Amino acid sequence: MKELLDQLSLCIEKGKVDQNSAYPPDLKGQPGASELTAQLLQNGISPNEILEKALMPGMKRIGDKFGKGLAFIPDLLIAAKAMKASMALLKPYFDSGVAQRKGIFILGTVRGDLHDIGKNLVGMVLEGNGWQIVDLGVNVSAESFLKALQEHPDAHLGLSALLTTTMLYMEEIVKTVKTTHPNTPIFIGGAPVTQEFNRKIGADGYFPDPQKLVNFLEAQRA
């Protein structure tokens, strides 16, 4: 089974979605993430084990490469596509409670901003790490974040912005949320965001790439 798990992990890292996928060329014709996940489930391997021993390591390797500038947005996206193919088979187990996720992450691009690729990448990497994502989309107000928190009171929050002018709204969101949910961790990211800004507005962390956020969360859980 270890071999199958390692193979699945490689398919995630390299973006091999299924047997019909022509990419990557060196895995052409071989089983992909879909087939290997199905085979593992049929062999009685638990969804949590598949997530922890295959999906997470695969996404971590490509995420770490991305953080070091050795992989790029397209590489993360094709890996995420393979991961989603696997998750589609695991989802019923997580939804029914048979398998457990690590928690819920509410993500949104803040009010006034329509850019979402950064937020989407964070969502994909977090999902590959076992988090359930509630994606509020773009142009999200403080009130919308609060409403989502009322539905998921133990969730973490992730705020994204691409422009200096929209980034400033993060301060209002943090103030609003911390008033009623002082223990909710709030993480921020986006092109103009810095550690200094994170400290200034009282958020709980800024990470320049998704894998660094995942590494931080894993360290907290350890």
Partner 1 sequence: MRPDIFTLLKTLRNGKGDFVPLMELGVHPKIKERFLGHPIQSLQDEVEFSYKAGYDYVKLQPIVDFNPQKLGAQTEEKPLDGTLSYNWAHEGQGLITSFDDLERYVFPRAEEIDYSRFEQIKQYLPEGMGVIGQYGDIFTMTWELMGMEAFSLALFENPELVKTLNSILGNIELSMFEYMVQSDVVDAIWYTDDIAFSTGLLVSPDVLHSYFFPWLKKIGEMAKAADKPFIYHTDGVLWDVFEDIIACGVNALHPIEPKAMNLAEVKQKYGDRLCLIGAVDVDLLCRGSKEEVEETVRHNIEVAAYNGGYCVGSGNSIPDYVNYENYLTLLNASKKYGTF
β 103-109/205-206 pair status: unpaired
* Cβ proximity to partner 1, 29 vs 74, nearer residue: 74
Structure token digits, residue 26: 């060196």
* Cβ proximity to partner 1, 36 vs 162, nearer residue: 162
CB of 42 to partner 1, least distance (A): 28
* Cβ proximity to partner 1, 77 vs 134, nearer residue: 77
Is residue 180 a contact point for partner 1 (CB under 8 A)? no
Using the rule CB under 8 A, which residue among 7, 34, 86, 120 binds partner 1?
A: 120
Is residue 24 a contact point for partner 1 (CB under 8 A)? yes
Handedness of CA 94, 95, 100, 103 (dihedral sign): positive
Contacts with partner 1: how many residues (CB under 8 A)? 34
**196-215: which residues touch partner 1 (CB under 8 A)?**
208-209
Binding mask 92-111 for partner 1 (x = CB under 8 A): -------------------x
Burial letters for 183-215: b for 16+ Cβ neighbours within 10 Å, e otherwise? ebbbbbbbeebeeebbeebebebbbebbbbbbb
Q: What is the layout of strands, in order, in the sheet containing 205-206?
A: 131-135, 103-109, 156-160, 186-189, 205-206
Q: At what angle do helices 56-67 and 210-221 cross, to 10 degrees?
A: 130
Using the rule CB under 8 A, which residue among 18, 35, 113, 127 binds partner 1?
A: 113
CB of 115 to partner 1, least distance (A): 5
Handedness of CA 191, 195, 196, 197 (dihedral sign): positive
Give me the residues that bind partner 1 (CB under 8 A), please.
15, 21-24, 69, 71-75, 77-78, 81, 111-117, 120, 139, 162-166, 168, 191-192, 194, 208-209
